[in-house]
Structures are given as structure tokens and as C-alpha cells.
Amino acid sequence: MIKRQIEKKILNWIDRGKKALLISGARQVGKTFSIRRCLKDTGSDYLEINLIANPDYVDIFRSAQTVSDITMELSLATGHRFLKNETILFIDEVQEYADIVTQIKFWVDEGSYRYILSGSLLGIELKNLRSSPVGYMDEIQMYPLDFLEFIRASGVDDQVITYLEEHFRERTAITDTIHENMLGRFQKYLVTGGMPSAVDSYLNSGDHNEVNDIQNNIISLYGKDFSKYESEEKKLMLQSVYKLIPSELLKQNRRYNYADIKKGLKYERLEDSFLWLLSAGVSIAAFNATEPKIPLLANKKSSLLKLYLSDVGLLTCMYGKNLKLDILTGRKANLGGIYENYTAMELYRHGYDIYYYNSRKLGELDFVIEHKNRILPIEVKSGKDYYVHSAINNVLASTEFETEEAIVFTNYNIKKENKVFYCPVYMSTFLNDEVVLPIDV
């Protein structure tokens, strides 16, 4: 069974949340399923309204003057009896009428019921709203399954996961047997990815052709979103930017080259497309940091970036079945961009703002993040030459940056040499600097 880490937060809200709850994320990441399961598991009285499946309900929300108007009309339309202080109204696909988000503060103030909102492309829609209900709504971002969720779903015991995490924290090697087992699972994750429907298909059938068909359908669905939410000119630009990501990641430095779309094209012409893809949750960006110093935001150069897909399975699907076969069989292939995409996903999901650093004098670092109030340089190596990392050596040797440690993610077991921590790439799923705060007190 696929269990999502976000469900702990949803259950926490059901137990004691007083504000409305907004769960956003890209299409097909499992928002509806997780919300519905949490509501059912807790025995909550709830009514689920899907604004795509039931577009007529949009008129109810648009025309209603009070919460009482809404509940009376929904009760007539659905037959559901609203219970004051008990019923939770779950409105799915809320992007079809995003003004609900601005109305929610009045519903919360009225106090009779509680509300969960969910939708895709909300990053696009919410930018256009007149106001944001600050103080009335908690927001949780949902992503595809990360590697930790994937191995749990595939049957890895929590005792093994605890063992792996402890060795990651202590910087000590794990047994070769466990390492090889995790590498095998990591290879399967690279081709399956974290879209719940793809993972579910793999777990039930083991048929990677079926998984591939699901992934192609999701990619096609994203393409329809491009045309639905943008003009013809912007749609074509979005498609070009998105489809070029896999080939850009095959390059040595992975930086997105605008001229590969059209000669002479500048960042300014593409900025809206980049922002759309990031806001929609289908892509992740690592921006250039002119210096590896805290705060990285102060050194951010927005016009230089690397662009990744939000799900590594979609990336390997776009590369084709032959590369998937190379990954599964361990045949030699250019996997540098795929490994880097996977690492970017894990860092982003764990709350890090992602940067990269490139200097003629010191070299290029794949990633630079702020971790435990320090700069942490990260290199990702898919080959046997993982110990070659001149940029990391140069940054560590510099007295200017005060860097205490660097991580090199590899195919090999844990090893610590001076300030360099060599770590299996799948263990990036344990890199976390999150401060957990309660949703509502």
C-alpha cells in the first residue's frame, strides 16, 4: 500500500486544525486520494465536491451570499446533511473557480464547518487573485512520491530505513548486501518515478511497459494544460521549453541554453514560460549563485538556471525505453543528468532552495544549499570517477566561504575523507533541515 508522508499533516489538521486547508501540487500527484483516505480513516463527516466533474456547482459558490446559502443548495443537490461543527466540505479541482480561495476567510469566520481545498495549477491561478486569505488558510504542497515513500510502498521495513538513516547521520558504511539492494530499488525508482498511478501499476504488475504508458499519458495531460491556460504563442513556447529539458540535462554543465530553442533568444522572452512551469509544479529550477555564501538569495542570478522535471520517471520516459532498459540492466549509459534531476527533486521536496555555482577560477558545483545555517556544496556523480571533484576541493580550501563539509552523491558506499562525505545517491532522501511547526495551535 502506498502511504504518503503528507497524510500525517492532513490527519493533524483533521484532528485540530481551525483554519481552512489548501493542498496544491501538480496533476496526478495523489492529492485527492490522500485527502479522501484521511477523511475516511478518521470517520469524518464530509462532502466531496469536484468542480471539474460537477461544473454546475461553480454557480452555487459564485452566487451564494452566505455559508447557509451554500450548504442549503449543496444539501439539495447532493442529499448530504450538513452537521454544524462536524461536517468538512472538501472542494476538489478548486482551480476551476479559484475565487473560492479569497472567499474562504468569510466561511472560516462564520465557524459552522471546516474546509479542505485541493487543486492543480493553483500556483498559476492564485497569482491572479485580488487578495490572499492570510491567517485563514494553511497550505501544503504535495509532490510525487520520493524515494523513501517508494521503498516503503515496495515493502522495505521501517527497521531497514532506520538503519540506513542512522548510518547516513553517522557517516558510516552500510553492509554491501543492503547497499546493493538499495541500488537496485533506486534503479527501479528512476524508471518508475513517483507518480502514484505509475508506482501502483509497478507494484501490482511489475510491468514497466504499463508504467511507461501511464507516464506518457501524464506528459500528454501536461501538454493539454499548456494549451488550456495560455495563448497560442505562449503555449508553443511552453511546449518548447518543457520538451527541451531532457536534452539540456544531457549536456556537461546542464545549464538551460535559451538559444537551443531559437538562435538569439534571450531570457526575458522565456521568463514567463519558466515561471509558469515552476508555478504549475511540473518543473524545478536551480538558479545560479554568484557566490557560495549565505544568504544564497542575495547572490541569486535569475537569468541563469538549470531546469529539471518534478518527477524523474517522466524524465526517463521522455528519454525512451532503451535508456530505461539500460538503467534496469545496469548497462553503461549517460545517467548524469538523471541522477542530478533525482537529487534536485529530493532537495526541493525537503524544503531547500536550490542553487548551483560556476566560477572560472573554482569550477562548477552541481548544487549549493543552505543546510544547518551553513553552505553545503553538493556534487552528483553517476560514474566510477566520483572522487574527482576539483570544484569541491577548491571551495573547501577557500577561507572565504567557511565551508565545513561537502557531499558527493555516488553509486558507492558511504565513506568520509576529511571534509568530503561520499554517500550513495539514494540517501539524498535523508538530507533534511526541516523545522516542523504545528499547523494550528
417 forms beta bridges with 420
283 forms beta bridges with 309
| Nearest Cα to Cα of residue 22 among 106, 67, 89, 113 | 89
Whole-prediction pTM: 0.92
Q: What single-letter amino acid sits at 164? A: L
Q: With contact defined as beta carbons under 8 Å apart, do 183 and 411 qualify? A: yes
Residue ranges of domains in the chain = 6-141, 147-430
pLDDT of residue 437: 39
Cell of residue 316, nine digits = 526517463
Cα–Cα distance measured from residue 400 to residue 359, given in angstroms and rounded to the nearest whole number = 14
Q: With contact defined as beta carbons under 8 Å apart, do 94 and 119 qualify? A: yes
Q: With contact defined as beta carbons under 8 Å apart, do 205 and 198 qualify? A: no
pLDDT of residue 287: 96
Q: Count other C-beta atoms under 10 Å from residue 207's C-beta.
A: 11
| Nearest Cα to Cα of residue 122 among 215, 38, 229, 9 | 229
Q: What single-letter amino acid sits at 364? A: E
- Mean pLDDT, contiguous 10-residue spans, the chain (441 residues): 93 95 93 97 97 92 92 95 97 90 91 94 63 78 96 96 96 97 97 97 94 96 80 82 94 88 83 88 95 93 94 97 93 92 96 94 94 93 90 90 92 95 96 58 35
Q: With contact defined as beta carbons under 8 Å apart, do 353 and 339 qualify? A: no
| Nearest Cα to Cα of residue 121 among 237, 283, 4 | 283
Q: What is the DSSP secondary-structure string of 65-120?
A: -SHHHHHHHHHHHH-PPP-TTT-EEEEESGGGGTTHHHHHHHHHHH-S-EEEEEES
| Nearest Cα to Cα of residue 171 among 411, 431, 439 | 431
pLDDT of residue 263: 84
pLDDT of residue 439: 42
pLDDT of residue 229: 65
119 forms beta bridges with 24
User: At which residue does the C-alpha cell 466540505 appear?
Assistant: 89
Q: With contact defined as beta carbons under 8 Å apart, do 164 and 182 qualify? A: yes
CATH topology of domain 6-141: Rossmann fold (3.40.50)
Cα–Cα distance measured from residue 298 to residue 289, given in angstroms and rounded to the nearest whole number = 8
pLDDT of residue 129: 52
Q: What single-letter amino acid sits at 354? A: I
Q: At what angle do helices 232-248 and 208-229 cross, to 10 degrees?
A: 140
pLDDT of residue 441: 35
What dihedral do alpha carbons 282, 348, 165, 437 form, nearest 10°?
-110
Q: Count other C-beta atoms under 10 Å from residue 244's C-beta.
A: 16
pLDDT of residue 401: 85
Long-range contacts at 204-213 (CB < 8 A, ≥ 24 apart)? 208/324, 208/328, 209/321, 211/313, 212/317, 212/321, 212/324
